[in-house]
Amino acid sequence: MLTITDLTCRVAGRPLLEGASLTLPAGHKGGLIGRNGTGKTTLLKLIAGEIQADTGEIRLPNNARIGRIAQEAPSGPQSLLETVLAADTERAKLLDEAEHATDPHRIADIHQRLHEIGAHAAPARAAQILHGLGFDAAAQERPCSDFSGGWRMRVALAALLFQAPDLLLLDEPTNHLDLEATLWLEDFLKRYPYTVLLVSHDRDLLNGAVDKIIHLHERKLTMYTGGYDDFERLRSERLALQAAAAAKQDAQRKHMQAFIDRFRYKASKARQAQSRIKALAKMQPIAAAVEERGIEFTFPEPEELAPPLIVMDDVAVGYEEGKPILTRINMRLDPDERIALLGSNGNGKSTMAKLIAGKLKPMAGELRASRKLKVGYFAQHQTDELDLEATPLLSMERAAPNLNAEKCRAHIARFGLDVQRATTPVGNLSGGEKARLLLALMTHAAPNILLLDEPTNHLDIDSRQALVQAINDFPGAVVLISHDPHLIELTVDRFWLVKDGRCQPFDGDLNDYKEMILNPGRSEKAREKREKAEARPDGKTDGRSGRKGGDAGDLKRQVEQSALAVKKLTEAMDIIEKKMADRKFYEEPAGVIADWQRKHAEVTKRLEQAEEAWLQAQMALDSAP
């Protein structure tokens, strides 16, 4: 059990915790949440004993082992597997002693203890954890020094999980993970047998992996039972009750004050007036419920372009003087599409993003892009490229020299950077504020495509929700790479899977993909069983994916997907026909007119195919048992 009593801590004279108290029972898992800069990481350091509080007490059971990721990522010639195994210092010490011990009794004690701690199964357990975090068997045998800092932080996390401490302290553990590793970590934490205190802004992780939410707000700690969705509901109810109680008390105070003002100096009522004065003085005021001010993002509206924005025909892409990373890419991106790139790190998602952004050229095949296409590309590593001495306003003026200072300031404000933040050196901004600055810098030219590679790192939950709203309000196309399932589920409607050197459409939703990641064998068997069950004597297919007719659930999904394709193509046709109906259109250069006419013919053909697929899927659903 973790017990915190009247804890007060100041950093640089600013109070982060003030009389804060908390009790987290043994074996429970708490998610610590709060706005950026409120002191969540400081609290973990206090619990780990890395810093000392001004006043108050933190109590844990005697001999409780506390685990927290090391500040420095592991490096050196040791293999990843050896690095993780070495984290269990007791096992390493016992194995070393066993090689040199000569006393039979001591040797027996050593082997008994090794058996108790499961030492012989440890390599398999360490390998399983490394595999879950994205390291295959070959990678586990390579030295740590072969890997970049982000991958070595995964090794540090693996070492911590392997230790299985009594109190596991995790501070934004998904920041260095991809979606696949994040899903695995959520599943691991669900089954973890000891106490966990987790700082995270990942809503799905907070819903799936913890049973308590601990809210750090106004320097106090308040605990709620359940996940993040339960917290939102309970906090909303608590704020409503507090607001009602404050309003009721305010009315009562006004009534008592009116009586005092009227009868204070009237002899017959003086005694009653005095009693009300005393009661009023003793009445403890109920603080009015104050909601935290939300953050809003606004992406500028792009120029309307006819579909398609990008077409890739048998494209191969990679880096100079090397083999292609991805081959046989046949994809198309239209206006207002919402696409998520799936696939574990190292399979080529970022390569695909750079191809779309125009930062990599095809090594083979053909890529055609709209002439006026603008792509806004956000990559988390760009944070390291910011000028820490410059202010956000100066950074924007450099990125957009055609905009005056007032317009630059207004654009920055779209992303929650107020006047004070706009003139603060970038080096003094929080990680979330730097991410918002990057979003401002990459959208100043009103891009037609938002290409977002892990945009939520360092953003708190409110900022992530603002990003969801901004993406959904954006009329252009969005291509998203993210480890945040909540962001993906709320913003995208199509998936491209980057795997085994290919980028192809993924036929399924995010739940299907989760099942494929966490239970690959079961997922493959389910797919084979479904395909066998879907087989029909007449051999008819649904006309869209080429799969045989399936059960009602699959058929309904095919109808919905076909209807969505028809809707998008109809909208695209409306744009083209509106453009071509304008008299000024025929004043355009001959090449531009020819492009629009070609697009009209292409969309007409695709719309006919989509409508036929929709009809076939609907007929199959209507005739399904």
- In this structure, what are the phi and psi dihedrals at residue 371, rounded to the nearest 5 degrees? -60, -40
State which amino acid sits at residue 151.
W
Residue 8 CA to residue 521 CA, distance in Å, equals 51
Identical fold, 310-517 and 519-623: no
Task: Give yes or no for a contact between 351 and 323, defined as CB atoms under 8 angstroms apart.
Answer: no
The DSSP result for 329-366, as a single string, is EEEEE-TT-EEEEE--TTSSHHHHHHHHHTSS--SEEE
For CA atoms 230, 298, 498, 607, give the dihedral sign. Answer: positive
d(CA 156, CA 329): 36
Contact 221, 40 (CB under 8 A): no
Residue appearing with tokens 């989760």:
514
Question: Strand, helix or coil at 66?
Answer: strand
Give the strand pairing for 220-225 and 212-217: antiparallel
CA 412 from chain centre, in angstroms, equals 23
Q: pLDDT tens digits, residue range 414-447? A: 888 888 888 899 888 888 888 889 999 999 999 9
Query: Whole-model pTM?
Result: 0.70
Instruction: Give SS3 for 147.
Output: coil
Beta strands 502-505 and 212-217: pairing type?
unpaired
- Report whether 457 contacts 435 (CB < 8 A): yes
Give just the sign of the alpha carbon dihedral 11, 40, 67, 127: negative
pLDDT recorded at residue 69? 85
394 three-class SS: helix
Q: Quick one: pLDDT at residue 537? A: 41
> What is the distance between the alpha carbons of residues 286 and 277, in angstroms, rounded to a whole number?
18
Residues 375, 381, 385, 386: what is their CA dihedral angle, to the nearest 10 degrees? 80
Cα 625 from Cα 179, distance rounded (Å): 37
Strand duo 338-342 + 494-499: pairing: parallel
How far is 163 from 308, CA to CA, in rounded Å? Answer: 52
CB 571 within 8 A of CB 337: no
Sequence length of the chain is 625
Residues 583-599: b if buried by 16+ CB within 10 A, e if exposed: eeeeeeeeeeeebbeeb
Q: What is the average pLDDT score of the chain?
A: 84
| Pairing between β-strand 375-379 and β-strand 449-453 as defined by DSSP bridges | parallel
Count of Cβ atoms closer than 10 Å to residue 165 Cβ: 16
How far is residue 506 from each of residues 14, 309, 340, 454, 512, measured CA to CA in Å?
Answer: 50, 21, 10, 20, 10
User: What pLDDT, on the 0 to 100 scale, is given for residue 286?
Assistant: 58
How far is it between the farthest Cα atoms of the chain?
102
Burial of 436 (0-12, 13-18, 19+ CB in 10 A): buried
User: What tokens were used for 175?
Assistant: 């920041």
Burial bucket for residue 529 (CB in 10 Å: 0-12, 13-18, 19+): exposed
Distance CA 467, CA 381 (A): 19
pLDDT for res 501: 93
Q: Is 477 helix (H, G, I), strand (E, B) or coil?
A: strand
Q: Which two tokens stand for residue 488?
A: 């993906």
Q: Where are the domains of the chain?
A: 74-162, 232-282, 310-517, 519-623
Pick the CATH number of 310-517 from 3.30.230.10, 1.10.40.50, 3.40.50.300, 1.20.140.70: 3.40.50.300
Taking residue 294's Cβ as centre, other Cβ atoms within 10 Å add up to 11
Rounded CA gap, 490 and 481, in Å? Answer: 14
The string of pLDDT tens digits covering residues 467-506 is: 998 998 898 999 999 988 889 988 998 899 999 999 999 9
Q: Name the stretches of the chain with pLDDT < 70.
A: 71, 267-270, 283-294, 520-554, 591, 624-625
503 strand-pairing partners: 498
* Residues paired with 55 in a beta bridge: 8
For 52, the 3-state DSSP assignment is coil
Peptide bond into 401 cis (omega under 30): no
Q: How far is CA 73 from CA 159, 174, 259, in A?
A: 11, 15, 69
Are 559 and 618 a contacting pair, CB within 8 Å?
A: yes
Name the class of domain 519-623. Answer: mainly alpha
